[in-house]
């Protein structure tokens, strides 16, 4: 079963389009997680243990309201080898909690290297000393800057694994305007359009669905902070899943995301990180309870607006 | 001392502009390295040990002819936590051999995440359980797709560490043409230009040098496979170091790289991976000897052409 079909089925079963963002920041780990770290060892190992405890607690609290978890690879990589080990453990916890898993690393490189990233994320690495399994996530984010030949090995490997790829189409930061919004001369007689429109067309071409009206296995990262473009994006990518970061801390609002859900309740995935993990800083009390409550409210808001008819 | 000044001094001292690319592929590790792997353990651990042995032997063989080593992060990440551990070890070996170290991961993300990547590569991560040192490389590659605000934390962190950033301006793969060569309408009255020219202007704006005629700490990744653009790039980025991958296996030729070296012998860094590591497949014999010979020839070719007057 393709990623699009798997996602549709999971969204309906869990009645949620909410993605729990896991971007663990050592200075903001929940107190109970710090207490779970071993007393001895190197800071990297102790911090990685606390990160596992924090993410596990966060997953337990928020999972009932979510359909997926998104892992910010940078936050694990900065802890070195113990961080990568922690990432593997936390991916396992999310899976056990019934969540789909999305690795957010925005990778992109020349084809031979793109293949290596695909092995790391959704495939495995063969060699004379045995096969090495990758992270085994259900989807990952990728950068289109290096062109179609650089995306191809990522898409192929994902497809083989039944996984999905979310290509950066228009990101949630203010600097997205610097390159992604530049007007480019149209190819083959098309009229001039912003760069992100060309990337959107590429995403549409690359994706495949199990059935004609199903969701495709190549989706788009579309910042929830720039909802003005959503209708046009949906026109250009009618079957793509939109991964929508930027809700909450970055200012995006669920109510503005309507066009993402035109193909159905799984057409958009609303990603929130700090709005859930740091909810207790706003409302006080136990971090677990605050996170569970924030996730429930975000998940319900999206489902009530865009889950109807499912 | 800034990265530009450090690089200039190292290039003159070693009389080399050659960068040894380390992209370890388990199926192509040297036989002696496979033999160095422990007999027991998981495939990831055994393969990581063989990768360390392979990269160490390669560094020992090629270092005398090189000024830097470039680590393809994907190739280490696909081995999981043991791979990241191997990366740390190999970075240490390269440093011991007198080489500057360049992490090639083409990272790019929203500012808060870009800061986390910077911590992983050139900084450290502070937290309540102690500071965690990053990889501590001398430079790294970065993607400009998300704009200036996403590059800023990378550049700031690198500058603080005396390190450098190489921004993707025009890459060495055929797909580079898909986005990077698109004609964009000029900002503020400039005439239309390819997208890579705008990125080049951004690189020029971001970089800083210790002295007016010194090399800047923000450089450009410029595929050696597209030398037609080099003169224009040098015009747009007069003080940037050009990191030039694609020599050898990808078809780039050192003789075509002249404009890169206009600001001096350290203006260009010629990166070669398979042309050195797999040289024995072409010429036969001992892989170490073949690698040492290939590196010496490539290094001398560049130095004889572009090291003159130094």
Per-residue model confidence as pLDDT tens digits over A14-50: 999 999 999 999 999 999 999 999 999 999 999 999 9
Residues with pLDDT less than 70, chain A: 186-189, 309-310
Distance of alpha carbon B102 from alpha carbon B241, whole angstroms: 13
pLDDT on residue A92: 98
Rounded (5°) CA angle A240-A11-A70: 75
- The sign one gets for the Cα dihedral A4, A10, A12, A15 is negative
A195: enclosing H helix or E strand: helix A195-206
pLDDT of residue B248: 82
Report in angstroms the alpha-carbon separations of A97 from A101, A135, A299, B254: 11, 17, 16, 54
pLDDT of residue A191: 83
Question: What would the two tokens of residue B213 be?
Answer: 């005629």
Q: Which residue stretches of A15-79 are H helix?
A: 31-35, 43-62, 73-77
Residue A280: its H or E element? helix A279-283
Q: Tell whether A51 lies on the interface with B, counting CB pairs under 8 A.
A: no
- A88 CB within 8 Å of a chain B CB: yes
A152's CB contacts (< 8 A; 6+ apart) are A111, A114, A206
Instruction: Tell me which of A219-223, B36-40, B222-226 is least confident.
Output: B222-226
pLDDT at B235: 97
Task: Please tell me which residue in B6, B70, B93, B106 is annotated as part of the active site.
Answer: B106
Strands of the sheet with A193-194, listed across from one edge: A193-194, A183-184, B183-184, B193-194
Distance CA A220, CA A226 (A): 14
Lowest mean pLDDT among A101-110, A127-136, B89-98, B225-234: B225-234
A180 touches chain B (CB under 8 A): yes
Question: What pLDDT, on a 0 to 100 scale, did the predictor assign at position A186?
Answer: 64
Report which of A131, A84, A116 is spatially closest to residue B75, judged by C-alpha positions: A116
* Maximum Cα–Cα distance across chain A: 66
Residues of B in contact with A109 (CB under 8 A): 74, 106
pTM of the model: 0.97
| pLDDT, tens only, A129-148 | 999 999 999 999 999 999 99
**Residue-level pLDDT at B228:** 87
Please report the pLDDT score of residue A22 as a whole number.
98
Chain B within 8 Å of A90 (Cβ-Cβ)?
no
Distance CA B169, CA A73 (A): 24
* In the block, residue with structure tokens 């040894």: B20
Is there a contact between A116 and B75 (Cβ–Cβ < 8 Å)?
yes
Interior CA angle at A95 toward A203 and A300, to 5°?
75
Q: Which member of B50, B172, B195 has the closest CB to residue A129?
A: B50
pLDDT at A189: 62
Quick check: A232 and A169 in contact, CB under 8 A?
no
Chosen from B32, B54, B128, B148 to mutate, greatest number of chain A CBs within 10 A: B128
For residue A226, the model assigns a pLDDT of 81
- Spatial separation of the C-alpha atoms in residues B298 and B142, rounded to whole Å: 26
Mean pLDDT of B145-156: 98
pLDDT at B188: 60
* Chain B residues lying within 8 Å of A175, measured CB to CB: 111, 146-151
Helix, strand or coil for residue A243? strand
CB pairs under 8 A between A and B: 255
- Residue B284 CA: distances (Å) to CA of B20, B256, B300: 20, 28, 21
| Residue B189 pLDDT grade (very low, low, confident, very high; cuts 50, 70, 90) | low
Q: What is the DSSP string of B94-133?
A: HHHTT-EEEEEEEE---HHHHHHHHHHHTSEE--TT--EE
Predicted confidence (pLDDT) per residue in B251-277, tens digit: 889 999 999 999 999 999 999 999 999
Q: Distance between CA A155 and CA A87 in Å, rounded?
A: 22
- ipTM for the predicted complex comes to 0.97
């Amino acid at each position: 079963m393709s990623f699009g079909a798997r996602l549709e089925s999971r969204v309906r079963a869990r009645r949620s389009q909410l993605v729990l963002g896991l971007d663990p920041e050592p200075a903001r780990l929940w107190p109970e997680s710090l207490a779970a770290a071993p007393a001895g060892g190197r800071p990297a190992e102790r911090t990685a243990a606390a990160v596992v405890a924090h993410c596990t607690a966060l997953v337990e609290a928020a999972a009932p309201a979510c359909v997926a978890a998104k892992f910010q690879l940078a936050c694990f990589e900065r802890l070195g080898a113990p961080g990568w080990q922690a990432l593997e453990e936390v991916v396992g916890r999310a899976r056990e909690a019934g969540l789909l898993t999305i690795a957010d690393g925005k990778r992109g490189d020349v084809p031979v290297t793109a293949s290596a990233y695909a092995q790391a994320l959704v495939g495995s690495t063969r060699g004379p000393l045995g096969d090495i399994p990758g992270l085994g996530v259900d989807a990952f984010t990728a950068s289109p800057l290096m062109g179609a030949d650089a995306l191809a090995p990522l898409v192929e490997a994902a497809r083989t694994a039944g996984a999905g790829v979310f290509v950066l189409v228009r990101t949630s930061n203010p600097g997205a305007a610097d390159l992604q919004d530049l007007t480019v001369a149209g190819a083959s007689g098309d009229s001039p359009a912003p760069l992100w429109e060309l990337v959107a067309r590429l995403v549409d071409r690359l994706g495949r669905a199990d059935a004609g009206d199903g969701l495709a296995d190549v989706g788009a990262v579309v910042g929830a902070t720039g909802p003005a473009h959503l209708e046009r994006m949906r026109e250009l990518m009618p079957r793509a899943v939109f991964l929508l970061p930027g809700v909450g801390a970055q200012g995006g609002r669920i109510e503005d995301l309507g066009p993402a859900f035109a193909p159905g309740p799984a057409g958009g995935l609303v990603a929130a990180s700090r709005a859930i993990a740091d909810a207790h800083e706003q409302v006080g009390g136990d971090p677990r309870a605050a996170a569970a409550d924030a996730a429930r409210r975000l998940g319900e808001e999206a489902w009530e607006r865009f889950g109807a008819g499912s």
